[in-house]
């Protein structure tokens, strides 16, 4: 098999993931997560239920697929700066600047609706924790492994999550981005400063 064929097959597989996830999220936003069955998602996506489960082991994974590209993001970012924390700080601030949805600072109706679905559905919130644990594990590995790296990774991932959730809460409550953005930047600067003070080895 040529590498071109393998690349095409992988692109088709990723397209399938995206299409099925988008179909599911659309149904969940329209009817509610608990009101839509996996069989209904499979039918809407034009695939069988067993095929759907080959791609998404649980119903919750249909939604959390949108986080898949971010799972090892912090682990990748730490190699991009003079120090791990400097790289992570710059990356988060850049995300705020471009209103990256992962920072919570985005007021597009589709983004707000997705976050309401995510944080308003207990089953999805519970399923989010394994994702965070995998993010922590990847970051800890990038930081050298061991207990100290795991402790540092836990703090960093928690800081990013809390900053993003606070931004999303304010935007969801109707505050304009122009008002939230400077506070979000200041909060991020303060939070990463505290991380640097507590984790001097990474600063």
DSSP string for residues in 160-195: HHHHHHHHHHHHHTT--HHHHHHHHHHHHHHHHHHH
Instruction: Give yes or no: residues 53 and 76 share one domain.
Output: no
81 and 30 within one domain: no
119 assigned to some structural domain: yes
Q: Is 32 found in the same domain as 12? A: yes
Contacts of 77 (CB under 8 A, 6+ apart): 87, 88, 91
Residue range 19-34: average pLDDT?
96
Looking at the structure, tell me whether residues 74 and 53 fall in a common domain: no
Query: Are the CB atoms for 117 and 63 separated by under 8 Å?
Result: yes
Number of domains making up the chain: 2
- Nearest CA-CA partner of 155 in 170, 167, 139: 139
Residues 167 and 103 in one domain: yes
Q: Examine the pLDDT at 150 and tell me if it is beyond 90.
A: yes
One-character DSSP codes across 47-108: S-HHHHHHH-SSTTHHHHGGGGGGTTHHHHHTTSSSSHHHHHHHHHHHHHHTT-GGGT----
The neighbour count for residue 20, using CB atoms within 10 Å, is 22
Residue 182 and residue 147 share a domain: yes
Average pLDDT over residues 171-196: 97
| 188 and 107 co-located in one domain | yes
* pLDDT at 107 exceeding the cut of 50: yes
One domain for residues 187 and 137: yes
> Higher confidence at residue 189 or residue 65?
189
Residues 89 and 177 in one domain: yes
- The pTM of the full predicted model, rounded to 2 decimals, is 0.87
Residue 59's Cβ-count burial label (10 Å; 0-12, 13-18, 19+) is buried
């Amino acid at each position: 098999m040529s590498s071109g064929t393998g690349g095409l097959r992988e692109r088709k597989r990723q397209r399938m993931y995206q299409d099925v996830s988008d179909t599911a999220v659309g149904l969940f936003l329209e009817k509610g997560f608990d009101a839509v069955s996996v069989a209904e998602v499979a039918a809407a996506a034009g695939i069988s239920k067993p095929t759907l489960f080959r791609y998404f082991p649980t119903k919750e994974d249909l939604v959390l697929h949108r986080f898949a590209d971010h799972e090892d993001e912090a682990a990748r970012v730490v190699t991009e700066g003079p120090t791990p924390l400097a790289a992570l700080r710059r990356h988060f601030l850049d995300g705020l600047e471009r209103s990256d949805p992962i920072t919570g600072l985005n007021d597009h109706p589709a983004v707000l609706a997705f976050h309401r679905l995510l944080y308003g559905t207990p089953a999805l919130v519970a399923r989010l924790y394994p994702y965070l644990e995998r993010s922590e594990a990847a970051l800890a590995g990038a930081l050298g492994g061991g207990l100290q790296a795991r402790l540092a990774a836990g703090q960093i991932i928690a800081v990013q999550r809390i900053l993003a959730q606070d931004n999303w809460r304010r935007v969801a409550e109707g505050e304009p981005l122009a008002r939230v953005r400077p506070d979000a930047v200041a909060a991020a600067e303060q939070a990463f400063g505290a991380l640097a003070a507590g984790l001097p080895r990474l600063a």
